[in-house]
A and B are shown apart, each in its own frame.
Chain A
């Protein structure tokens, strides 16, 4: 189930909150747990049992790990728990990719390929696998005690607001909230406002722009397309004029941000209605003056995960040779790319980001500082925009062809010349992307997202949120385009 669906907005959410708030406090976790299983079972019926079973297995393995005194056994149990979590991820997410490349290699060696039935990717597997890993490692490192109740652990892994597209919540960030939390009426109202802001980002901006991006680049998952469809896309890209290519690249840059940030807003909002305080996942990433800063602002919870559970264990900054540090950094981004998708374009995307991060450390940051804040933000934004091409266009040859069209300086009439909705939406997206570059913008963001609301402010916010909610349902049903990008990861 996705948040921007009629089933969720018109049935699941009202009924869930009614039941949740009518129940006594001590039973609310069970209501949430039941709803979360239902939520996941609705969208991924074939995988829900495996998810529940692997979660239960992890819970007991970690408990066993805590009770055992022997360090070797402790390590082994920790490894077993991680293997279970990441094993599922590796099998479901990278099985197809591995077999395709293996068969390609066998083909090159003149040997017949291995037969393989394509595996469907369970929704949200990348997110809950990582959450499970954080639990195991945090408990192993002694940062937190293990949860007492199995139901609480399943709830931590499967809590529906963040189950399928994050934010990736470290166990120690919500452990206390799962046991005990306060949900004031103010939280509930502000949570709803935040949810609606996310819904608007998703439906009114990301989906509108996304439909136009798809019109040029085709649907995002190329693995599901026929040869004819791929040929169509290739011929469209090959004949793109430079203006259209840039508009598409910029459009996708805004689409992916508003899509993913919208989802995070919705997750944070839903959590807040119930009294949870989930970590922020975005901090105006397009205001970054370098790629390093971009990664401090973009998908913050993934960045933290990579840092804490990969970069630092690899040695972090405390390595003997700087070259090793650069290699570690680059490897982290390569793996981050691979986490986003099992195909070469994601690896290239991660590798490029890794290269820029290394370049930042070597010389780029100093150079950017000399240029000044605004030129640096513009250059960083354009760099991110170009690199996004590898993220969106899943075939490397197509992606390269697209980038060539961006720099072909072929100024034929633009494909979208009469599409005012696209342009207006992109302007709105740009406005909200860069709004917080100003002090006024930052102040406004603070007021809307994080400050206490007076009665007067509540009335205004409630009316706006109610209208926006109805308007989003209208948009959702008047158009038929609403898939979330980040569910695939």
Chain B
């Protein structure tokens, strides 16, 4: 009898444990990972009680907030993963041998994704053709502003590792696949783009690292090579002078720290054989000819590896990310806004490159509305006229024009380029040069002299020539340097390059 009472007492304790933990958190618990919406505790009113909304909300609220929720959820997740190779993580599906895949990517591989969103393959192809036409139009429009547009198809894991794919029923073999169709059409339309999957397929057997880690549907360390290719390709479009990325030898190491999609599975135990990670020393090469671009990325979650694995501040002057064309992360500090709330035209015109990127299987989502938005923003009928008017206004303001001439000279760029930049700044509400007091001639000459001296001193060939001339004339190197600089300045004055109209 006493024994039964103890068991019954323990039963009551068991029933009350979650309540106790919720109120006191007497056992500290590791939180669940991943992004999930949380329900606010509903307020009980007669109306929401009567129509049943309170009951629905409080059930959801309790479901998200009861004591010991985290270990309990991990327990069930572990059960379905271990016994049925299944997860409750949104969109992530386990394949063979511990590999994790993105559900849509798997569907696209089997040709079953397109029919979910389009009535027929023809409907998808018509939409894709229209999309490619929009890309071409946007590229032409951005070109007028001196901005490059390109597309970047991040690699799809299923096509790289089909041997680890979860088993599904494929559609007919000739079913349209998103990646292949867009790749072909963009090539035909002459839109600069990179399709990374093919390259990853080629290197997967010879690379000294896993091009996709087991437990992530995204690329991880291998993204370093992908982004290296991207920046090289960007530079090849207009010889911008983007700093070069040097990747040192790849080293593997083990860690118990979970990362990527495995973390968001919220299991009790790590997936077996997944703790090998990779790293390499990455250096960025710069010289007097290199320039860091300002880049606007529009796309999906494949971008985050850029921040994680590369010193992105050393490569780019500024970065803006429009995540699914919905949330804008501005600058390296990733200040967050809604895309709908920012000045899109300003963001577009302030970029040197606009990169539309996405994993191949996501391209059916038709750029999340970005292309239409951007074209609308840049529409000749308003933005171009606005820009032209602003440039004319600056030209007619002697004071302002002078400031721009000086600035152009100091930065080594043309007057027109500086004028367009300033006009763009004005449109964005941030004129930089309007109220600057023009410098006197002496100051301009002094600044120009300093600039030339800095460039020459960092160039060993020029310095050697100057040393030889100094030796021949029997004067010091510094005196020779000053004489030569003065000669160049005189030439510039004569040609009107320093104080021209």
Asked if A312 lies at the interface with its beta carbon under 8 angstroms from chain B, I say no
B169 touches A17 (CB 8 A): no
Question: In the bound complex, what is the Cα–Cα distance between A462 and B10 (angstroms)?
Answer: 9
CB nearest neighbor in A for B67: A10
A10 touches B52 (CB 8 A): no
Choose from B7, B55, B72, B84 the contact partner of A420 (Cβ within 8 Å): B84
**Please, which residues of chain A bring their CB within 8 A of the CB of B10?**
462
Residues from 60 to 93 in B contacting A, C-beta threshold 8 Å: 62-63, 66, 69, 72-73, 75-77, 79-80, 83-86, 88
Choose from B59, B80, B88 the contact partner of A6 (Cβ within 8 Å): B59
CB nearest neighbor in A for B72: A474
B86 touches A14 (CB 8 A): no
**Please, which residues of chain B bring their CB within 8 A of the CB of A188?**
8, 11
Which of A39-47, A134-142, A330-338, A387-395 makes up part of the contact surface?
A: A39-47
Give the interface size bracket for A toward B.
35 or more
Q: What mask results when residues 160 to 191 of chain B are scored 1 for a CB within 8 Å of chain A, else 0?
A: 00000011110000000000000000000000
Asked if B19 lies at the interface with its beta carbon under 8 angstroms from chain A, I say yes
CB nearest neighbor in A for B58: A7
B14 touches A469 (CB 8 A): yes
Choose from A17, A18, A45, A421 the contact partner of B49 (Cβ within 8 Å): A45
Q: What mask results when residues 311 to 342 of chain B are scored 1 for a CB within 8 Å of chain A, else 0?
A: 00000000000000000000000000000000
A417 touches B167 (CB 8 A): yes
Question: In the bound complex, what is the Cα–Cα distance between A466 and B17 (angstroms)?
Answer: 12
CB A207 to nearest CB in B, in angstroms, measures 12
Q: What mask results when residues 1 to 37 of chain A are scored 1 for a CB within 8 Å of chain B, else 0?
A: 1000111001101100110000000000000000000
B8 touches A420 (CB 8 A): no
CB nearest neighbor in A for B77: A478
Asked if A189 lies at the interface with its beta carbon under 8 angstroms from chain B, I say yes
A7 touches B59 (CB 8 A): yes
B63 touches A477 (CB 8 A): yes
Asked if A479 lies at the interface with its beta carbon under 8 angstroms from chain B, I say yes
B12 touches A10 (CB 8 A): no
Choose from B8, B16, B72, B84 the contact partner of A424 (Cβ within 8 Å): B84
Asked if B1 lies at the interface with its beta carbon under 8 angstroms from chain A, I say yes
A462 touches B7 (CB 8 A): yes
Q: What mask results when residues 444 to 465 of chain B are scored 1 for a CB within 8 Å of chain A, else 0?
A: 0000000000000000000000
Asked if A87 lies at the interface with its beta carbon under 8 angstroms from chain B, I say no
Q: What mask results when residues 451 to 489 of chain A are scored 1 for a CB within 8 Å of chain B, else 0?
A: 000010011001000100111011111110000000000
A421 touches B86 (CB 8 A): yes
**Please, which residues of chain B bring their CB within 8 A of the CB of A10?**
18-19, 62, 66
Asked if B3 lies at the interface with its beta carbon under 8 angstroms from chain A, I say yes
CB nearest neighbor in B for A455: B3
Asked if A185 lies at the interface with its beta carbon under 8 angstroms from chain B, I say yes
Q: What mask results when residues 1 to 41 of chain B are scored 1 for a CB within 8 Å of chain A, else 0?
A: 10111011011101110110000000000000000000000
CB nearest neighbor in A for B71: A474
A421 touches B80 (CB 8 A): yes
Question: In the bound complex, what is the Cα–Cα distance between A466 and B11 (angstroms)?
Answer: 8
CB A1 to nearest CB in B, in angstroms, measures 8
Q: What mask results when residues 180 to 197 of chain A are scored 1 for a CB within 8 Å of chain B, else 0?
A: 000011101100100000
Choose from A18, A420, A471 the contact partner of B76 (Cβ within 8 Å): A471
B62 touches A17 (CB 8 A): no
Known contacts A6-B63, A185-B5; A14/B167 CB under 8 A:
no
Asked if A413 lies at the interface with its beta carbon under 8 angstroms from chain B, I say yes
**Please, which residues of chain A bring their CB within 8 A of the CB of B167?**
417-418
Question: In the bound complex, what is the Cα–Cα distance between A380 and B94 (angstroms)?
Answer: 39
Asked if B272 lies at the interface with its beta carbon under 8 angstroms from chain A, I say no
CB nearest neighbor in A for B46: A45
Asked if B116 lies at the interface with its beta carbon under 8 angstroms from chain A, I say no
Question: In the bound complex, what is the Cα–Cα distance between A290 and B7 (angstroms)?
Answer: 43
CB B111 to nearest CB in A, in angstroms, measures 14
CB A478 to nearest CB in B, in angstroms, measures 4
A424 touches B73 (CB 8 A): no
Choose from B8, B14, B58 the contact partner of A466 (Cβ within 8 Å): B14
**Please, which residues of chain B bring their CB within 8 A of the CB of A7?**
55, 58-59, 62
Asked if B50 lies at the interface with its beta carbon under 8 angstroms from chain A, I say yes
B16 touches A14 (CB 8 A): yes
Known contacts A417-B169, A470-B72, A473-B72; A11/B62 CB under 8 A:
yes
Question: In the bound complex, what is the Cα–Cα distance between A14 and B13 (angstroms)?
Answer: 9
**Please, which residues of chain B bring their CB within 8 A of the CB of A469?**
14
**Please, which residues of chain B bring their CB within 8 A of the CB of A11?**
19, 62
CB nearest neighbor in B for A414: B169
**Which residue of B62, B66, B76, B168 has the most chain A CB atoms within 10 A of its CB atom?**
B76
CB nearest neighbor in B for A1: B55
**Please, which residues of chain A bring their CB within 8 A of the CB of B79?**
471, 474
A42 touches B55 (CB 8 A): yes
B11 touches A478 (CB 8 A): no
B11 touches A46 (CB 8 A): no
**Please, which residues of chain A bring their CB within 8 A of the CB of B76?**
471, 474-475, 477-479
Question: In the bound complex, what is the Cα–Cα distance between A166 and B372 (angstroms)?
Answer: 59
CB B52 to nearest CB in A, in angstroms, measures 7
Question: In the bound complex, what is the Cα–Cα distance between A11 and B14 (angstroms)?
Answer: 12
Question: In the bound complex, what is the Cα–Cα distance between A421 and B86 (angstroms)?
Answer: 8
A13 touches B15 (CB 8 A): yes
Choose from A417, A420, A478 the contact partner of B73 (Cβ within 8 Å): A478
CB nearest neighbor in B for A188: B8
CB B46 to nearest CB in A, in angstroms, measures 9
A478 touches B88 (CB 8 A): yes
CB A191 to nearest CB in B, in angstroms, measures 10
**5 further A-B pairs in the complex, CB-CB below 8 A; given A189-B11, A420-B83, A462-B7:** A10-B62, A185-B1, A477-B63, A477-B66, A477-B76
User: Could you jot down 15 A-B contacts, CB within 8 Å?
Assistant: A1-B55, A6-B66, A7-B59, A7-B62, A11-B62, A14-B15, A18-B12, A18-B16, A45-B50, A189-B4, A459-B7, A471-B79, A477-B63, A477-B69, A478-B80
Interface residues of B (CB under 8 A from A): 1, 3-5, 7-8, 10-12, 14-16, 18-19, 49-50, 52, 55, 58-59, 62-63, 66, 69, 72-73, 75-77, 79-80, 83-86, 88, 166-169
